[in-house]
Structure 1
Amino acid sequence: MKKIFRLSIVILHLLLISKLSVAAIVDTVETTSQAMHKKIKAVIIKPNDYDKLSVMPTVYLLHGYGGNYSDWVRNAPAVQSLADEYHMLIVCPDGNISSWYLDSPVNPDWKYETYVGTELVAWVDARYKTIKNRSGRAITGLSMGGHGALYLAFKHQDTFGAAGSTSGGVDIRPFPNNWKMANILGTYAEHPENWEKNTIINMTHLLTPGKLALIIDCGTEDFFYKVNVNLHDLLLLRNIPHDFYVRPGGHNSAYWANSIKYQLLFFHDYFIAQQKLAVK
């Protein structure tokens, strides 16, 4: 009996080692922003079959206010297994604690739109086996990162073919004194044009129906819930196709850890559809 028990332990140990050996590879890398003259860290998640794949799609995953590049891996570790399941590269850049992923109109040294939307994409494409066009790129994020993902996708539709937002600050105007946004845009009282121009809900005119695949979700107890519903209604009015989900939940990591599963599935389906179109 003891021999059988020991053999069982050895088998379980070997199975565990085998499972770990094919897990996604998570690396912290140092990228460069020429626009801001500095090094910026990012987490890169490679699927376990990275070496076997010739190319793969990429999802850029943005953190929220007060966070950093490690947030998604730390707070939603399922992204690693999802990278394996969907055979995708996931890039989690550092957007500073309060960048809102904008090029600031009042601070010329603040260029996070340029960094994430242009410099980082070029950096990743030069070093990894990515699909180097919009059909193989998606971007999403939470809260500030949800705003950033839609902002970057709306303005860089030649770069990203799909975009998402979870609990996103899709209309920043109701919050003029929050999250250090006045440092980036100037105060709303003095520079209302900067706020009007750089809020997502005022940027839907940039969209052409069907060009950008969109998924947006928000919890019903979230303080951003109302502005997300308003964006959904406006997209409907403009005949912009999009997936919109609401479910119970607040502005917290438990909601985002659940949400990202649906977001990445949406992008996986988009990538598969694009591959089918390419071979026709």
Structure 2
Amino acid sequence: MKKSLLNALVYILLATPILSFAGVDTVSTHSAIMNKEIKAVVITPKNYDTSKEYPVTYLLHGYSGNYASWIKGAPQIEQLADLYQMIIVSPDGNFDSWYWDSPTNPDSKYETYFIKELIPFIDENYETIPSKEGRAITGLSMGGHGALYLAIRHQDIFGVAGSQSGGVDITPFPENWNMKGYLGTKSEFPERWKEFSVMGQLHLLSKNNLPLIIHCGTDDFFYQVNLKLHEELTYLNIPHSFTSNPGGHTWDYWRDSVQYQLLFFNNYFKGIAQKQ
């Protein structure tokens, strides 16, 4: 175990999570960078064993969602965590943060929170594989953008990443989803809007360093930007899995998609384990 009984008691008193050490937990973490409490759902396999280490998938919600969106919208992820023997963490990214460190709003620093505060908290208080080889990240819509944005910018933290119906290029949507509240207007800051988009981070990728899986339905309003991402990754010779199939921006699509993405991550984790 990583913690002594004393440390565990101190953790319970100070962090005040609701812990069962199996199944579905709700934890509250204090963000020093934003000076507030932030919740997350943590799903562990039913036979969660503190003598083992588990890979972790971070599962990000979409615009207007919260930490409970995934467990409510796709409750089968609990069984998938058990099937693949992984921990699934669904954190709160505020309803419209886009998972950025906002250059205009000092109270919205979600990139720093995820990388510097949440991940260390999970590694300290759960039995994880505390390295990039044991971490995956994906999400839907705003969370699909957030997952790729964070993974590409922090390839030392995440070993594999995905996106489901992700807003992977924000530049065609200057008036939508309160993005200008965090970036300023596109007309004033056009370069910033490019930089804070997934498409603006692709220069950081290199071949075979970050396996990617991207899903988007052909009836989705983000379909064209996902197709553009696929074409650009292909041009850059970056290996990735891209699936476009019938479907819209709906939970029916994401409930199906998440199953394939978690399988993809499981295969990555198993491949790493076999090499060690």
**TM-score > 0.5 by shorter chain:** yes
Pairing partner for 1:106 from 70, 92, 104: 104
User: 1:119: how far off?
Assistant: 1.1
Could you tell me the TM-score, scaled by structure 2's length? Answer: 0.91
Give the aligned partner of residue 251 of structure 2: 253
Residue pairs, 1:1-280, within 5 angstroms: 25-51=23-49, 54-278=52-276
Pick which of 106-115 and 256-265 moved more. 106-115
Equivalent residue letter for 1:102: W
Pick which of 29-38 and 130-139 moved more. 29-38
Q: Distance in 1 between matches of 2:242 and 2:30?
A: 35
User: 1:277: how far off?
Assistant: 1.3
Q: Distance in 2 between matches of 1:103 and 1:30?
A: 20
Question: Counting helix residues as a fraction of each chain, which structure ranks higher?
Answer: 1
Q: Distance in 1 between matches of 2:97 and 2:166?
A: 14
* RMSD of aligned Cα (Å): 1.1
User: 1:53: how far off?
Assistant: 5.3
User: 1:109: how far off?
Assistant: 1.9
Q: Distance in 2 between matches of 1:36 and 1:263?
A: 31
Gaps of 5+ in 1: 1-23
Equivalent residue letter for 1:27: D
The alignment of Structure 1 onto Structure 2 pairs a total of residues equal to 256
User: 1:192: how far off?
Assistant: 1.3
CA deviation digits over 1:109-166, x for unaligned, max 9? 2100111122110010000000000000000000000000000000110000000000
Contact 1:105 1:194 in 2 (8 A): no
User: 1:51: how far off?
Assistant: 2.0
Compare CA radii of gyration and give the structure with the larger one.
1
CA deviation digits over 1:173-202, x for unaligned, max 9? 000000000001001111112101111112
Identity %: 57
User: 1:275: how far off?
Assistant: 0.6
Give the aligned partner of residue 3 of structure 2: none
Contact 1:213 1:242 in 2 (8 A): yes
Equivalent residue letter for 1:192: P
Contact 1:54 1:129 in 2 (8 A): yes
Gaps of 5+ in 2: 1-21
Q: Distance in 1 between matches of 2:170 and 2:219?
A: 18
Which ranges of 4 or more aligned residues in structure 1 deviate by more than 4 Å? none
